[in-house]
């Protein structure tokens, strides 16, 4: 691999390399400027030692095409790819910010509200990729960028898979993921699934809230052994300020058995979305950020406090009374826990009937991911439609996605576009970008580049950076 000074000033395609941005175990990244659009991009060069096999080019092109098809605000876009002087590269969206590893290093434990919002947004990005059968394989703080507006972006999709075939697990652990964030099945070379990414994201949340990784050792192999066999250290023992709900979410996401983790990334996001404690966690209140605040009336009742201990004679009958009290208390706690979910759903349903848009949207999300209720996409669509009529922007966007993907109803691109336009009018940047994309590529309709440009511009003005690139691009691909 060339040293940074060897590439500075060179023109790769339409991009002139300006300066190095960073070096990792698999690649080197440079900042570049598009010679015509005058915008910045990042170019990632795969290290030469990972591109030695005869079929690497075929695999590189296949993976690059798949990754380039991902269009999500939480995923760093791939704009171009190719080779230069024997070096394979990807031209990516340039995110002006810092990675979460640096944030943790400089700030230490992150406040729960902030950390949960970041992780929930990344969970949404992973869910989008997983629905397209793309698994990241190397989710970690270093691969999550925080921009100047507080948004998070996941990068390096597919890089770990690309180099995996070129290397076995070594002392460095390079090539198949990063040991501190690798799920047990990944460490053992078993099948990699969406659950593998959920585990890694759970470790990221653990580190954000505690400032530490759960397992540490002198060698990467020793870290993997701990991750496979040792119980997960409770994050509250490191940071007592962590809520019980956040700790429970982490422990489920990082379960040893993939089947014991959240069913999918959206289920993980839904649990984070529903974290209570609004009086202890500040609410940010931005439509485009995950507000960790229960919908009105959905606060979950606290379990009753155990009765004060009463001295009991040290006798067989005394011990029996203690066991009886303990059994009764356990049954009571279980009953309260079982009743929580129906109470929450009933409260949301009641509020939705009263035309509370946020309640209809939250209930739709529950039906979409199967949280507290059986998964029902048809019911979710009905609720999203109602919430959209009540001017809830994200509900309009979600309804549009359901019509576009044929979830909950037959695929209907006309209705999908209508809902995206409605969401855009309500200032949802994702809806604006989706409407623009449908106009640009036709998606079963007549292509209209002028309309695409209008919606890309609106999405750009609302803070969707990838739309800014598309708005400046012009022309039909």
Tell me: the pLDDT tens digits for 417-450?
A: 999 998 888 888 888 888 888 888 776 567 888 8
Q: How far is it, in rounded angstroms, from Cα 273 to Cα 123? A: 11
pLDDT confidence band for 318 (50 / 70 / 90): very low
Percent of the chain with pLDDT over 70: 76
Lowest mean pLDDT segment, chosen from 16-25, 84-93, 290-299, 454-463:
290-299
- Residue 445's pLDDT is 66
pLDDT confidence band for 123 (50 / 70 / 90): very high
Q: How far is it, in rounded angstroms, from Cα 377 to Cα 366? A: 10
In this predicted structure, the answer to whether residue 369 has a pLDDT above a threshold of 50 is: yes
Is the pLDDT higher at 359 or at 288? 359
Retrieve residue 217's tokens: 């050792």
- Residue 329's pLDDT is 54
* Contact indicator for 7, 17 with CB cutoff of 8 Å: yes
3-state helix, strand, coil split of the chain in percent (to 5) is: 50, 10, 40
pLDDT confidence band for 403 (50 / 70 / 90): very high
Q: What strand order describes the sheet that includes 152-154?
A: 97-99, 144-147, 152-154
Average pLDDT, the chain: 79
In this predicted structure, the answer to whether residue 171 has a pLDDT above a threshold of 80 is: no
Listed ranges 32-41, 74-83, 246-255; the one with the highest mean pLDDT = 246-255
Domains of the chain from N-terminus onward: 4-93 (3.30.200.20), 97-273 (1.10.510.10), 341-473 (1.25.40.10)
Task: Provide the annotated active-site residues.
Answer: 138
Supply the pTM of this predicted model. 0.59
- Residue 400's pLDDT is 92
- Residue 130's pLDDT is 93
In this predicted structure, the answer to whether residue 476 has a pLDDT above a threshold of 70 is: no
């Amino acid at each position: 691999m060339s040293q940074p000074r060897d590439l500075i000033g060179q023109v790769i395609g339409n991009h002139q390399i300006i300066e190095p941005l960073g070096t990792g175990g698999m690649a080197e990244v440079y900042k570049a400027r598009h010679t015509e659009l005058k915008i910045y991009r990042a170019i990632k060069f795969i290290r030469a030692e990972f591109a030695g096999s005869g079929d690497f080019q075929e695999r590189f092109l296949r993976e690059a095409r798949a990754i380039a098809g991902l269009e999500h605000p939480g995923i760093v876009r791939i704009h171009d790819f190719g080779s230069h002087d024997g070096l394979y590269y990807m031209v990516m969206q340039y995110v002006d910010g810092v990675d979460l590893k640096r944030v943790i290093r400089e700030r230490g434990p992150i406040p729960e509200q902030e950390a949960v919002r970041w992780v929930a947004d990344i969970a949404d990005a992973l869910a989008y990729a997983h629905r397209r059968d793309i698994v990241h394989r190397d989710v970690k703080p270093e691969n999550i960028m925080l921009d100047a507006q507080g948004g998070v972006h996941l990068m390096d999709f597919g890089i770990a898979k690309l180099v995996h075939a070129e290397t076995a697990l070594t002392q460095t652990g390079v090539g198949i993921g990063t040991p501190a964030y690798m799920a047990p099945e990944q460490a053992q070379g078993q099948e990699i699934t969406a659950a593998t990414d959920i585990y890694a994201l759970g470790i990221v949340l653990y580190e954000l809230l505690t400032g530490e990784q759960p397992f540490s050792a002198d060698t990467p192999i020793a870290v993997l052994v701990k991750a496979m066999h040792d119980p997960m250290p409770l994050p509250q023992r490191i940071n007592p300020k962590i809520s019980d709900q956040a700790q429970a979410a982490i422990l489920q996401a990082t379960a040893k058995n993939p089947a014991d983790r959240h069913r999918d990334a959206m289920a993980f996001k839904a649990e984070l979305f529903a974290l209570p404690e609004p009086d202890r966690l500040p609410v940010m209140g931005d439509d485009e950020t995950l507000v960790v605040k229960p919908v009105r009336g959905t606060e979950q009742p606290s379990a009753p406090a155990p009765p004060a201990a009463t001295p009991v004679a040290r006798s067989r009958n005394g011990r029996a009374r203690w066991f009886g009290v303990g059994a009764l208390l356990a049954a009571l706690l279980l009953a309260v826990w079982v009743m929580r979910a129906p109470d929450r759903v009933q409260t949301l349903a009641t509020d939705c009937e009263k035309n509370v848009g946020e309640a209809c949207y939250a209930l739709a999300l529950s039906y979409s991911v199967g949280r507290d209720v059986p998964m029902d996409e048809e019911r979710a669509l009905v609720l999203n439609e109602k919430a959209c009529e009540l001017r809830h922007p994200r509900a309009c966007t979600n309804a549009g996605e359901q019509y576009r993907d044929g979830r909950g109803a037959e695929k209907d691109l006309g209705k999908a576009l209508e809902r995206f336009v409605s969401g855009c009018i309500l200032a949802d940047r994702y809806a604006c970008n989706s409407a623009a994309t449908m106009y640009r590529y036709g998606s079963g309709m007549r292509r209209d580049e002028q309309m695409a440009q209008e919606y890309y511009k609106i999405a750009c003005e609302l803070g969707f950076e990838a739309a800014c690139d598309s708005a400046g691009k012009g022309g039909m691909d």
